[in-house]
Amino acid sequence: MKRTLLIAALMIAVVPLSACNNKRKSHNRGSSTTSAVTSGGNGNNGGGTIGVQGISLVAPNTGSVLGGEAVTIMGSGFLTGSTVEFGFAQAANVVVVSSTRITCTTPPGSAGLVDVVVVLPTNQTLRLNNGFTYDPNGNGGPMARVADYGDPNGEEQELVELMQRARRNPVAEADRINRTRGTTLDFSIYAVRPPLSHNGFLEEAAKFHGNDMATRGFYGHASPEGKNANGRILDTAYDLNDYFGNNPAINLTENIGKGTGAAPGNSLTNPQDVHDTFMIDLNVAGAKHRQMILGHGQFSRYREVGVAYLHRAPSDYVVQEFAFTKRDRPFLVGVAYNDRSGDGVCRAGEGRPGVTVTLSHASGFSISTQTKSAGGFAFEVFVPGVYTLTIDGRSTNVSIQGDNVKVDLRDGAILAN
């Protein structure tokens, strides 16, 4: 039976709309001892095991030996007035956002692993062993890092790729929808925008909301307790730009959709139908879903998206979170896939997981990752320049300046788009 999609637009007000292995100094600041994290990690998203109170995650957990990296520390038991240390040095710009979240800027440090320590006003310390890596590569510090991509499934990656196509050529997108849907859309007012990078923390917020709506039987941007998209993102380790503020009851980031038996013209049978529904934005004042996806107006600065496409009987739930971080640096994104559909879009089931992708620079800098389950990958680039991108042994030069750039591996051939 054909399903349909109800969509809810974002809101822009407080009221939600419905629609190195260095020697480490001992921290002996008092007679009290603390519950501290005793295991750490240097993976891309941080690591550690949390007790009653302690540090659970540092994101990002790799940065330049020159310092200056905007970092979010997640855990429990944080108190106003706490300070943060990376190895021997104190962090700058420490803000205790809540008892579970601290933001700060890394100090300069020596190459290698260091402990991350939160010093409470009581002189107790909370520690994440080997919680941060000072990277010596390239120009005194890292030129780029593997981005926090998450692991979208095939349908979610397809939704991202459909956004990329629409942003690359909005006029052609309207023409395609008009031909296939019988609409009369005119997207000539929309400028070409750079691609979006998928983000795992935004994905976490999106999936939480989708599951919450399905489990508790409500539909809207705000939860029954009044928490909105801003609050859900702030609950993750995403380094949300100050542009969005700290009010958990507002929404500047979110599209949602739910499959129901109503809303004629809004169909929900596959990612393409979901995407087209958002782009058509039937009976939605201001076409906010479309504007968000196309990066129009106030949404032009958004660099990342996290997507949830959840099948929770009797309905499907779609949540898209768009944002940008305090660092606000460009991403090199892409997907490796076999284009069996022949339409130039990585569809669900076409992505190639586990493909090695390397970003390198003439300075000697090099960093590698592997494509995710649905074929996607991304690097966050800190130093503008011309880089070499190698995907599955095929290479191309890529100029990365202020905007996101997309390079795919389609049917074994490099394709910049």
Tokens 């750490």 belong to 40
In contact, 59 and 239? CB cutoff 8 Å: yes
Dist. CA 128–CA 38, nearest whole Å: 7
For 193-209, write each residue's pLDDT tens digit: 999 999 999 999 999 99
pLDDT > 90? residue 68: no
Task: State the pTM of this model.
Answer: 0.73
* pLDDT number for residue 174: 97
Picking from 163, 240, 258, the residue whose alpha carbon sits closest to that of residue 204 is 240
For 159-170, write each residue's pLDDT tens digit: 999 999 999 999
Q: Out of 2-16, 315-329, 357-371, 393-407, pick the least confident.
A: 2-16
Residues 6+ away with beta carbon under 8 Å from 343: none
Distances (CA, A) of 87 to 23, 73, 111, 174, 256: 8, 15, 11, 54, 43
Dist. CA 152–CA 354, nearest whole Å: 14
**CA torsion angle 3 279 242 238 (round to 10):** 50
The full set of domain ranges for the chain reads: 4-16+150-323, 20-135, 328-416
Q: Out of 18-22, 96-100, 359-363, pick the least confident.
A: 18-22
CATH 4.10.520.10 fits 20-135, yes or no: no
Question: Between 67 and 280, whose confidence is greater?
Answer: 280
pLDDT > 60? residue 236: yes
pLDDT > 50? residue 77: yes
pLDDT > 50? residue 240: yes
Amino acid at 86: F
* Span 366-374, average pLDDT: 96
Distances (CA, A) of 119 to 21, 28, 80, 98: 21, 11, 11, 15
* pLDDT number for residue 313: 80
Judge whether 20-135 and 328-416 match in fold.
Answer: yes
* pLDDT number for residue 7: 59
Q: Out of 93-102, 159-168, 276-285, pick the least confident.
A: 276-285
pLDDT > 80? residue 286: no
* pLDDT number for residue 260: 56
Could you tell me the two tokens for 167? 């942003």
Can you spell out the DSSP letters for 342-396? SSSS--TTTB-TT-EEEEE-TTS-EEEEE--TTSEEEEEESS-EEEEEEETTEEE
- CA count, 13 A, side-chain hemisphere, 279: 31
Look up the CATH number of domain 4-16+150-323.
Answer: 3.40.33.10
Tell me what the pLDDT averaged over the chain comes to.
85
| Residue 107 DSSP class | P
CATH architecture of 328-416: Sandwich (2.60)
Q: Phi/psi at 168 (nearest 5 deg)?
A: -70, -30
Cβ-count burial 124-156 (b if 16+ within 10 Å, e if not) = bbbbbbbbbbbbebbeebbbbbbbbbbebbbbb
